[in-house]
Amino acid sequence: MKLNYAHQRILITGASAGIGRDMARQLAAYGPKALILVARRREALEALKLELQEQYPTVAVYICAYDLSERQQIDALLRTVSREVGAVDILINNAGMGDYGLFENADWAKLEQMLRLNIEALTYLTYKLVPPMIALGRGAVLNISSGFGLLFMPGMSVYAASKHYVTAFTDALRGELRGTGVIVSQACPGPVATEFGEHSGTQGTIPAGLMMSSEACAREILDGLARGRALFIPGKLVSIGTNLGRLMPRPLLRLALRPMRRRLLKSESPRFEPVSVN
Ligand SMILES: NC(=O)c1ccc[n+]([C@@H]2O[C@H](COP(=O)([O-])OP(=O)(O)OC[C@H]3O[C@@H](n4cnc5c(N)ncnc54)[C@H](OP(=O)(O)O)[C@@H]3O)[C@@H](O)[C@H]2O)c1
């Protein structure tokens, strides 16, 4: 099934930066009916709205500054969208965050926010916005997972687990919605040069040569969704590398990743004391 972006009402989470912002820029060129841009930073969304409206004056751009890790704010977002735009034709669950380091040393508040954003917000938005698509017999959901939704990596345990959820959820939902006219796709990017590195602490851990540009990644993602593909990995080299990793027997992969704790301990100390309970 193919998807045309023209005349569609498209909601993109995490549109204030990185891959989400580049997807918004590229989608605007197709002449959608409405672009609903969601993220926390209002100023960044406003700057993007100005940029898009200058270039594409016929596209209606809506700014929705909400924190998706808060359930009440997602409900407020849904009310705003229903009042101002009506139904959503294409939902792009892109907002996500990561964390790098030993699990024992992680900040629980950050992990909790990650689980709420990467898993709960994505699932809840899909739960709320898909039924009207089924009723209309058309629509699409695109979830941005990760190469870590297919593989795993010590140092990113909770992030990889959250993306495994996204991958399994998306594949299963695609199966359920077969024949309804609603496309369900997912992208599993490798390293992309965005703010993600700085916020997750992965900056400097990946050679710059392996990084894909956010613009190129967004282009491949939108192409994959337009073709109605189930799961795609942007970037030829990353795609080959990830698929080789997937073919590797799990015990071999565990063996290859054994030195990771020692590597992580070069930049942080092990935690011996118990975590305090408030
Ligand atoms: N970059 C990579 O290497 C890479 C690789 C594989 C997969 N991915 C996935 O790709 C997606 C996009 O990542 P990116 O690389 O573009 O990251 P990014 O540059 O850090 O952008 C993340 C976006 O999510 C928004 N966001 C974060 N927390 C939010 C919250 N609580 N509520 C609402 N919005 C929130 C941010 O906006 P505000 O800060 O304004 O809220 C921003 O717009 C994520 O799901 C990520 O896991 C990234």
Give pLDDT, residue 186.
98
Whole-angstrom distance, CA of residue 151 vs CA of residue 19:
21
Confidence tier at 1 by pLDDT (50, 70, 90): confident
Q: Please report the domains of the chain, with CATH numbers, ordered by start residue.
A: 9-264 (3.40.50.720)
Q: 154-184: per-residue pLDDT in tens?
A: 999 999 999 999 999 999 999 999 999 999 9
Q: Is the pLDDT of residue 274 over 80?
A: no
Catalytic residue among 159, 165, 236, 266: 159
Q: Is the pTM of this model over 0.75?
A: yes
Take residue 226 and report the two structure tokens written for it: 């337009």
Q: What is the mean pLDDT of the chain?
A: 96
Give pLDDT, residue 270.
80
Q: Is the CB of 92 under 6 A from ligand 1?
A: no
Atom of ligand 1 at shortest distance to CA of 70? 31
**What's the mean pLDDT in 112-137?**
98
Q: How far apart are the first and last CA of the chain?
A: 52
Minimum CA distance residue for ligand 1 atom 36: 14
Q: 35-74: per-residue pLDDT in tens?
A: 999 999 999 999 999 999 999 999 999 999 999 999 999 9
- Beta-carbon contacts of residue 189 (< 8 Å; ≥ 6 apart): 19, 144, 146, 147, 212, 217, 221, 233, 234, 235, 238
More confident residue, 206 or 10: 10
Q: Is the distance from CB of 64 to CB of 36 less than 8 angstroms?
A: yes
Q: 215-248: per-residue pLDDT in tens?
A: 999 999 999 999 999 999 999 999 999 999 999 9
Give pLDDT, residue 209.
83
Q: Is the CB of 202 under 6 A from ligand 1?
A: no
The three-class DSSP label of residue 193 is strand
Can 266 be counted among the known catalytic residues?
no
Q: Is the CB of 96 under 6 A from ligand 1?
A: yes
Can 66 be counted among the known catalytic residues?
no
Sheet holding 34-39, edge to edge: 60-65, 34-39, 9-13, 90-93, 139-144, 182-187, 231-232
